[in-house]
Amino acid sequence: NAGVTQTPKFRVLKTGQSMTLLCAQDMNHEYMYWYRQDPGMGLRLIHYSVGEGTTAKGEVPDGYNVSRLKKQNFLLGLESAAPSQTSVYFCASSRTATGELFFGEGSRLTVL
């Protein structure tokens, strides 16, 4: 049982480049989330989805876009990467809005 899988695990970008992070879950969860984790700060919610075809903004959505075309996948896009987006990104899923989160192993992104 794979749980939540994120690809890629590591990526280096130049300022202004674009990229997409892919998250896949095999638990049939309705809710999916993208967080970023920076040193000295707690996990911060970027965007989330309450079901296939839906997306909503979290605490720090600027500079990111998301899509949930299939229930099992949640994509996070950076259209024009900035050094401030250097971070570790975690995808998570949950069965309910108030249930425990299942996290992926993270994607470490460096923007030069």
Name the residues that contact other proteins, by CB under 8 A. Answer: 4, 31, 33, 40-45, 48, 50, 56, 58-59, 90, 92, 94, 97-98, 100-106
Instruction: Report the residue number, 46 or 78, with the smaller CB distance to other proteins.
Output: 46
Q: Which tokens sit at 33?
A: 């989330």
Instruction: Report the residue number, 35 or 111, with the smaller CB distance to other proteins.
Output: 35
Give min distance, CB of 16 to other proteins, in A. 28
